[in-house]
Structure 1
Amino acid sequence: MAAALGGLLFGFDTSVINGAVNSIQSDFNLGSAAVVITVAITLIGCAIGAWFAGQLADVWGRKPVMVLAALLFVASSIGSAYAFAIWDLMSWRVIGGLAIGIASVIAPAYIGEMAPARLRGALSSLQQLAITLGIFLALLSDAGLARAAGGAGNELWWGMPAWRWMLLVGVIPAVVYGLLSLTIPESPHFLIRKSRNKDALAVIRRFTSPVNPEQRLKEIEESLENERRSTYRELRGPALGLQPILWIGIGMAAFQQLVGINAIFYYSTTLWQSVGFSQEDSFTTSVITSIINVALTFVAIFFVDKVGRKLLLLVGSAGMFVGLVAAAVSFSQATGSGDSLTLAAPWGPIALVGANLFVIFFAATWGPVMWVVLGEVFPNKIRGLALGIATAFNWIFNFIVTLLFPIMSAAVGLGFVYAGFAFFAVLSFWFVKALLPEVSGLELEDKSKLVRHKKPTTA
């Protein structure tokens, strides 16, 4: 749970901008393009942080990198709240992105290495639960502060408008994450890499409780093949220059974003205002959606180790497709554009139901299970680098979707945009069915052997 709190900051920091974006646009007198960049620029930092997180974790250890992420979160929250110009705000948001990217890699890597096979799916899903809680807390905080001030742009305390307090609140979970990171043990995989086998054995005995701790230690040693630090050379393979398993990880990371989940969470308040909801109702609707997101994550935690990763993902792809089609058809009936967009009855409620149906299936499947897969599917020798690269691609596609969503919505309409998301939901179904291996119930060391000996098309 301590490691997964990085996911809470991940969800909080990426979603807190939701309630502040309109006030930021007004206070800094921004055009629509500048607003989009302000929202999306964090994701550039996320991609950079994710890319290097695995390498830092292999050199420094998992714990120090978690503490680094917490410090960056604190700095970003304070700097963003007191930003005096738009370039200053963007700079602090990039720093926050570095922290998010680091946390998004370290949590699944650490949990995957610490958890026993029978519990790893559920424990790895805690990160997504923390992400959804972070989103919920961010939207709830935004709604509460906006309500207290009578609007996000109105003055709240000490001469600061509510939107600045929205960004400053992130200091609290960041400090909690940093303090808890200091209390947890280092990963036995990292300790073995540093020839600290005695310490690694003590961690294995106390926290992972295998039947034979010495045998588990030996298995980890053998899986690491006596390497001390993985390099990019080990990622090379016959499939377009990379190992097939890395392409599978990149594909999983990309599809989780291409179905459009963050288009809903980053722009939900603005989106619902555009189709006739008041600002207060839009905040409330966004909070309700985030509650659904949290609640349904427990479905994945309960079922992921019982029915397997692959089946959950297939069900999720099918359910997301249905919800996205409902939203696409509804928004195709919209009249007007921009702030004057309206949905006549019954299309408004149908759009809301479709969007929330999509969130339900995403939260119960692709949201948490993608992180479970990334945390366990790579061989031990390349896990740090491969997980960092795959997560970086997740953030890159997050950036692309976030940047293009308002542009494409204005150019072709929300109906076509949601239809595009539905198309990627169909592709994600095919991708999982055809390419993803089912490796539930195996220790990480067993998975490494499986991946090395499977044919490229299935591994």
Structure 2
Amino acid sequence: MSTISHPTHTNRQTILVCFLAALAGLLFGLDMGVIAGALPFIANEFNLSSHHQEVVVSIMMLGAALGALCSGPMSSSLGRKKSLLLGAVLFIIGSIGCAVAHSMEVLAVSRFILGLAVGVASFTAPLYLSEIAPERIRGSMISLYQLMITIGILAAFLSDTALSEGGHWRWMLGVITFPAIVLFIGVLTLPESPRWLAMKDKHELAGKVLKLLRNSDKEAQDELNQIRESVKMKQRGLQLFRHNAHFRRSTYLGVLLQFMQQFTGMTVIMYYAPKIFEIAGFATTREQMWGTVIAGLTNVLATFIAIALVDRWGRKPILKLGFSGMAVCMGILGYMFHSGISNPTEQYAAVIVLLIFITGFAMSAGPLIWVLCSEIQPLAGRDFGVTCSTMANWIANMIIGATFLTLIDTIGSSGTFWLYGVLNVVCIVLTLLFVPETKNISLEHIERNLMCGNPLRHIGQPPQGKTGKAITTE
């Protein structure tokens, strides 16, 4: 069942708006990737232990979790656009602070501010994209956000490599200021989300935005009618969570999805890539940095696979394929590290397996978890649900960032990678049991299926009845 036709082409203005919003992902990626190259120099300058290095890495995730927690109420009251603007300002402040830091404490505070910015961006940008993009390309447009993250990571790795010869870690961290300014200017030109406008009873303005972004007035009016039906129920996330078991299910699923994404092991590759290449036998800084660049480039290119296939194959088949590939690669890497890497052939074999792992993540869990988390929450509790899932992402991210070096020191490289292999197998099972297929289904239909009490893995199916159960808080 569908109430909106599917034109064969997409409004160019929609593509432009989605691209500008996805620039928040570029800043996200820059902040994730830049610490990998800067960390060895920071550790040397401030004489940091492994624990202190983990603090420098993970303090950003703590800020991101707090930023995500605050983003729900802020996005609901101020709007998606103003929230993105605030995120851009925080990016600028945090980047400058990192560049001028004269102690670990100042650096940690600046990284925390950057974390706040990343938390705001990681909540608001996918939510905005899910509400701006028409359903036929919604998966691709939210995947575009993940693509920008991977481009940001690659750009950070390239910048780090160029600056590593002189050990200029302050420039590595400070260069993020410039794209942050570009993001701020770009967001100024964006329209507000039509769904948010309708939630605030600004239906006429919502209609104008949809006419700008859709191919015809009829398409815009049809979508506005759907939105009007959805927004009759105002945002009451916490109350809905307390009293509505169906909303609790979607909230828990969003949290689970984000933990699944982080516990694949991809995060440690992004944060500690030079360290991993050192474990693989590449001894010089130059070798480690260029290995990191190759990893970042693979991450970017493989994300195009997700963009090309997410709205053709669907979310669930790609996730199952990705988790399976990552489980196998982690198992192989663990075996290689256990057996010992003693010659160039084994070194390059380890790199190939690592790149296959990155490909598996970038085409599946990387972008598609964000797609699903923005799709499965009902409108009346969407801000609360996405807040919970985004905060979960950063809590899991912080756990991974704060434990990797400790795991290496305690259970060894092989044990650590085997552990991540097992976690990927667990993710396959969880995908089969709980993850829905949402391809080509409107957000309103997904919501109706959820509130009808359908099993979570079936909420992406076309509704069987004419109407679903009303969303209530009683």
Query: Normalised by the shorter chain, which TM-score bucket?
Result: over 0.9
Q: Over aligned residues, Cα RMSD in angstroms?
A: 1.6
- Quote the offset at 1:13 in angstroms: 0.6
- Quote the offset at 1:270 in angstroms: 2.3
Tell me which of 205, 222, 227 is aligned to 1:215: 222
> Structure 1, unaligned stretches of length 5 or more?
153-161, 335-341
2:311 aligned counterpart, secondary structure: helix
1:243 aligned counterpart, secondary structure: helix
| Residue 100 of structure 1 pairs with residue 99 of structure 2 | no
Residues 237 and 255 of structure 1, relative CA distance in 2, 3 Å threshold: farther
| Residue 130 of structure 1 pairs with residue 148 of structure 2 | yes
Residues 242 and 452 of structure 1, relative CA distance in 2, 3 Å threshold: closer
- Given that 1:40 and 1:399 are in contact with CA atoms closer than 8 Å, whether structure 2 keeps it comes out as yes
| Residue 357 of structure 1 pairs with residue 356 of structure 2 | yes
- Quote the offset at 1:259 in angstroms: 0.9
Aligned residue identity for 1:250: V
In 1, the alpha carbon distance for the partners of 2:291 and 2:437 equals 37
- Quote the offset at 1:455 in angstroms: 2.7
- Given that 2:450 and 2:456 are in contact with CA atoms closer than 8 Å, whether structure 1 keeps it comes out as no
Deviation string, structure 1 residues 93-147 (Cα, Å, up to 9, x no partner): 0000000011001111001001111111111100100000000000000001123
Aligned residue identity for 1:273: E
- Given that 1:323 and 1:356 are in contact with CA atoms closer than 8 Å, whether structure 2 keeps it comes out as no
Tell me which of 104, 124, 149 is aligned to 1:86: 104
- 1:362-377 to structure 2, matched below 5 A, reads 362-377=361-376
Residues 96 and 432 of structure 1, relative CA distance in 2, 3 Å threshold: same
- 1:168-207 to structure 2, matched below 5 A, reads 168-207=174-213
| Residue 378 of structure 1 pairs with residue 377 of structure 2 | yes
Tell me which of 238, 242, 247 is aligned to 2:252: 247
- Quote the offset at 1:172 in angstroms: 1.0
In 2, the alpha carbon distance for the partners of 1:311 and 1:118 equals 18
In 1, the alpha carbon distance for the partners of 2:34 and 2:101 equals 15
- Given that 2:280 and 2:350 are in contact with CA atoms closer than 8 Å, whether structure 1 keeps it comes out as no
- Quote the offset at 1:344 in angstroms: 4.7
Aligned residue identity for 1:44: L
- Quote the offset at 1:439 in angstroms: 1.7
How many residues align structurally? 438
Residues 343 and 127 of structure 1, relative CA distance in 2, 3 Å threshold: farther
In 2, the alpha carbon distance for the partners of 1:178 and 1:255 equals 32
In 2, the alpha carbon distance for the partners of 1:41 and 1:25 equals 15
Deviation string, structure 1 residues 64-107 (Cα, Å, up to 9, x no partner): 11010000000001001100111110001000000001100111
- Quote the offset at 1:346 in angstroms: 4.7
- Given that 1:333 and 1:343 are in contact with CA atoms closer than 8 Å, whether structure 2 keeps it comes out as no
In 1, the alpha carbon distance for the partners of 2:180 and 2:306 equals 26
Tell me which of 312, 322, 326 is aligned to 2:318: 312
- Quote the offset at 1:343 in angstroms: 4.4
TM-score by length of 2: 0.89
- Given that 2:237 and 2:385 are in contact with CA atoms closer than 8 Å, whether structure 1 keeps it comes out as no
- Quote the offset at 1:166 in angstroms: 0.4
Identity %: 33
Residues 224 and 87 of structure 1, relative CA distance in 2, 3 Å threshold: same
- Given that 2:163 and 2:172 are in contact with CA atoms closer than 8 Å, whether structure 1 keeps it comes out as yes
Deviation string, structure 1 residues 372-417 (Cα, Å, up to 9, x no partner): 1111111111111111110110111111111111101110111111
Aligned residue identity for 1:218: N
In 2, the alpha carbon distance for the partners of 1:457 and 1:215 equals 27
In 2, the alpha carbon distance for the partners of 1:77 and 1:127 equals 21
2:339 aligned counterpart, secondary structure: coil
Deviation string, structure 1 residues 223-259 (Cα, Å, up to 9, x no partner): 12241x33312123676x9711111111110010001
> Structure 2, unaligned stretches of length 5 or more?
1-18, 460-474
Provide the residue aligned with 2:51 in structure 1.
33
Provide the residue aligned with 1:299 in structure 2.
305
Tell me which of 269, 273, 295 is aligned to 1:264: 269
- Given that 1:63 and 1:186 are in contact with CA atoms closer than 8 Å, whether structure 2 keeps it comes out as yes
